A and B are shown apart, each in its own frame.
Chain A
Amino acid sequence: MSIAEQSIIPARQADWKQRDRHGENLNLKGQVAVVTGGATGSGRASAGKRADRGAAVMVADINDSASAATAAEVAEIAGRSACFRVDVTDVGACSDLAAKTLEVLGPADILINNAGVAGAPNWQKRSFSTEEDWKMTYRVNVIGMSNIVTAFEPQMAKRRSGRVVNIASIAGREGRPSLPHYSASKAAVISLTQSTALELARYNITVNAICPGLLWTPMWEQVGERYAREVPAYAGMSARQVFDVMIADRIPMKSEQTPEDIAETVVFFTSYDAKNITGQALNVDGGLFMR
């Protein structure tokens, strides 16, 4: 079973409600959340967590069938959800998504920009970054994010309220020889987050980024395969073994991060509790990077 098939959405919703008794702060009843790349992985966990707190969720993904499945799960929890096929590099499709969200669920309160790629198709089979890898990562991870924010800005600005969370990566914190195009695009995401935060602060819209550390996702499975092939120290290992060695060697907390960890941080940034936090990039990485 791949990670995408494992349910990340907590099975016992009642437990969470119990834990949130302390106040209305994490209650998202009546709110509308949009999650791009929301069909699988961290995006799916975020969608589930939003719904869990009472929000209606629009699952936007290029993967039609997976997003329908996630939307159905979300509907079971929250009662209201929808899915929409969107290629974030297509400006028209992004405006269609915004219009559809408004029509079906109402104006968006929360925008979770999670859609991302590690390279052009077959990147995991190559040893070097190609021009296509550079273009694809920049188009999806950076320009795509900007397209989505631009499409939803009017809905949020009009109501003088909004929360945007961009999923970057610790790869964006420091340049590294492997996948330089990916690192550069994620550094750009952090920068874009800051610019957008300054731009939208006047509408009372906060914009923050999360930099996930090492998560066992379909993407990391491919990264691991590539490392096993390219890096002598990992020769002969399975992708999961490469992953485990990296956790042991590099993560101070000695444990992997999970989609659940990322979803919890998204919940915090989009909650009332974080109303005065904007322009920040927070590493959720077990202490790997401290800046």
Chain B
Amino acid sequence: MDFEGKTSVVTGGAGGIGRGIAHALARRGSNVLIADTNEESAVKVVAELMAFGAHASFCETDVTAQWSTDEMVEAALEEFGQLDVLVNNAGVGGARDFTFRKTPNIDDWLATFDVNVFGIVNGIQSVEKYMLDRGYGKIVNIASIAGRSGGAGFTAYGASKAAAINVSQAWAFKLAPHGINVNTVCPGLIWTPLWESIGEWRSLTSRQHTGMTSRQVFERAVAESVPLGREQTPEDVGNAVAYLASDRARSITGQALNVDGGIRMN
């Protein structure tokens, strides 16, 4: 197995896409540390992973604080003895109650950049010294196809995800000579708690979605925009992460791969 004896840390691993990533890595033999603010959900994911024989544990982590991601890395090393893969997946759509605002306010801008950008920066900064000393490491950041080009409405989120792609490239370049790969996955339309909020936001703020449930908004988006005609899943993202984090992809770095059924081709 690609990750036999290896250890992966997945931020935001307690639910949604992060859970899919944790499963994909654990099924390929990796030990997994779930780093999340939500202990209740994280513990459930840990139990799922252990149920099929993987080694997993939880570390309460707030990626917006450097000390917290430092502790996360220490926890992984203490628990499993080594750290091979860091998946910076934690993300938010906006500040509290963002679904009720037609356009993002300053709190939304700060929240999206705090988590979606600085969260990645903190994660990388906490792990890079260890990876540099070791001369080995795989970092995969989760951005979004929303970061591929600007659009009306969900501006703060889109801008933060574009920044996430840029940040990944910067560290890819810096860490490339040291045997460390840094890549990005840009998920498309995936039914997660985040998309549930986005659906709610659209039904509250866009006239053409008025009265629709969140899931209906989602299905309409899938039907209208996905060439392959179906939604993507957390497993799809997990599989792409597992590929990019494996030694099979040793010559791939600084790339952003869309897992979106063909919505975006850049």
**How many Å from the CB of A131 to the closest CB on chain B?**
31
Task: Bits for A218-234, please: 1 = Cβ < 8 Å to B, else 0.
Answer: 00000000000000000
Which positions 215-266 of chain B face chain A at CB distance < 8 Å? Answer: 227-230, 232-233, 236, 239-240, 242-243, 248-255, 257-262, 264-266
Distance, CA A258 to CA B251, complexed state (A): 9
A275's nearest neighbour on chain B, judged by CB, is: B236
Contact (A22, B172) CB under 8 Å given A264-B248, A276-B230 = no
Task: Bits for B79-122, please: 1 = Cβ < 8 Å to A, else 0.
Answer: 00000000000000000000000000000000000000000000
Distance, CA A19 to CA B257, complexed state (A): 24
**How many Å from the CB of A141 to the closest CB on chain B?**
19
- B227 touching A22, Cβ below 8 Å: no
B169 contacts chain A at the CB level, 8 A cutoff:
yes
- A273 touching B252, Cβ below 8 Å: no
B6 contacts chain A at the CB level, 8 A cutoff:
no
Residue in B27, B251, B253, B259 with the greatest tally of chain A CB atoms within 10 Å: B251
A202 contacts chain B at the CB level, 8 A cutoff:
yes
B173's nearest neighbour on chain A, judged by CB, is: A252
**How many Å from the CB of A150 to the closest CB on chain B?**
19
Distance, CA A198 to CA B230, complexed state (A): 14
Distance, CA A281 to CA B258, complexed state (A): 10
- A283 touching B255, Cβ below 8 Å: yes
- B239 touching A273, Cβ below 8 Å: yes
- B259 touching A197, Cβ below 8 Å: no
Contact (A22, B262) CB under 8 Å given A252-B176, A282-B252 = no
Interface size class of A (residues with CB under 8 A): 35 or more
B16 contacts chain A at the CB level, 8 A cutoff:
no
Contact (A279, B259) CB under 8 Å given A202-B229, A213-B251 = no
Contact (A273, B243) CB under 8 Å given A253-B176, A257-B251 = yes
B177 contacts chain A at the CB level, 8 A cutoff:
yes
Contact (A253, B261) CB under 8 Å given A22-B2, A276-B228 = no
Distance, CA A258 to CA B176, complexed state (A): 17
- B240 touching A274, Cβ below 8 Å: yes
**How many Å from the CB of A169 to the closest CB on chain B?**
14
Interface residues of chain A: helix, strand, loop or mixed (majority): loop
Count residues of B near A (Cβ-Cβ below 8 Å).
40
Task: Bits for A231-249, please: 1 = Cβ < 8 Å to B, else 0.
Answer: 0000000000000000000
B152 contacts chain A at the CB level, 8 A cutoff:
no
Contact (A290, B169) CB under 8 Å given A22-B28, A201-B262, A254-B176 = yes
A268 contacts chain B at the CB level, 8 A cutoff:
yes
- A204 touching B252, Cβ below 8 Å: no
- A19 touching B1, Cβ below 8 Å: yes
- B2 touching A19, Cβ below 8 Å: yes
B153 contacts chain A at the CB level, 8 A cutoff:
no
Task: Knowing that A22-B27, A280-B258 touch, tell me 17 more A-B residue pairs with CB under 8 angstroms.
Answer: A19-B2, A20-B1, A25-B239, A201-B229, A213-B251, A254-B176, A255-B251, A273-B242, A274-B240, A276-B236, A277-B236, A277-B257, A279-B227, A283-B255, A284-B251, A287-B253, A291-B266
The 8 lowest CB-CB distance pairs between A and B, nearest first, are A252-B176, A201-B227, A273-B239, A290-B254, A278-B262, A264-B248, A279-B265, A287-B253
A-B contact pairs, 23 of them (CB 8 A): A22-B2, A201-B229, A213-B251, A252-B172, A252-B173, A252-B176, A253-B253, A254-B177, A257-B251, A261-B251, A273-B242, A273-B243, A276-B260, A276-B261, A277-B257, A277-B258, A277-B261, A278-B228, A283-B252, A287-B172, A287-B254, A289-B254, A290-B255
